[in-house]
Amino acid sequence: MARTITVIGSINVDHILQIEHNPEPGETIKANQISLAAGGKGANQAVASVRMGCNTNFIGAVGTDAESKFMLQELRRNGINTAGITKMDYETTGQAFVLVQEAGENSIIVNSGANAQLSPKMITANEHFITNADFVLAQLETPEKTTIKAFELAKEHGASTLLNPSPASPLSAALLKLTDLVIMNEPEVKRITGIKETDPASLTEMARFFHNQGVKVVIITLGERGSFSSNDGQEIAVPPVKAHEIDPTGAGDAYIGALVTHVKRDYSNLAEALLYASHASALAVQQLSAFPAMPTKEEVEASIARQQ
Pairing of strands 33-39, 94-101: unpaired
Best-predicted range by mean pLDDT (215-224, 277-286, 292-301): 215-224
Over residues 166-196, the pLDDT tens digits come to 999 999 999 999 999 999 999 999 999 999 9
The closest of 100, 11, 110 to 59, measured between CA atoms, is 11
Binding-site residue numbers are: 12-14, 40-44, 141, 185, 221-226, 247, 249, 252-253, 284, 287
Instruction: Tell me if 18 is assigned to some domain.
Output: no
Number of domains in the chain: 1
**For position 247, what pLDDT does the model report?**
64
CA distance 289 to 292: 6
The verdict on whether 266 is a catalytic residue reads no
**292 pLDDT above the threshold of 80:** no
The contacts of residue 81 (CB under 8 Å, 6+ apart) are 55, 56, 57, 58, 129
Distances (CA, A) of 188 to 104, 249, 250, 268, 275: 19, 15, 16, 26, 21
Binding-site residue numbers for substrate are: 12-14, 40-44, 141, 253
**288 pLDDT above the threshold of 70:** no
∠ CA 3-254-217, nearest 5°, is: 65
Over residues 197-210, the pLDDT tens digits come to 999 999 999 999 99
Over residues 191-249, the pLDDT tens digits come to 999 999 999 999 999 999 999 999 999 999 998 899 999 999 999 999 888 877 766 66
Residue 191: give its domain's CATH number: 3.40.1190.20
CA distance 22 to 306: 36
Instruction: Tell me if 97 is assigned to some domain.
Output: no
Contact 98, 111 (CB under 8 A): no
Binding-site residue numbers for K(+) are: 247, 249, 284, 287
Instruction: Tell me if 216 is assigned to some domain.
Output: yes
Instruction: Tell me if 35 is assigned to some domain.
Output: no
pTM: 0.91
Binding-site residue numbers for ATP are: 185, 221-226, 252-253
Average pLDDT estimate for 286-297: 77
Instruction: Tell me if 88 is assigned to some domain.
Output: yes
Range(s) of the domain holding residue 123? 4-10+41-92+114-307
Catalytic residue among 134, 199, 232, 253: 253
Instruction: Tell me if 101 is assigned to some domain.
Output: no
Query: Which DSSP letter does residue 93 get?
Result: P
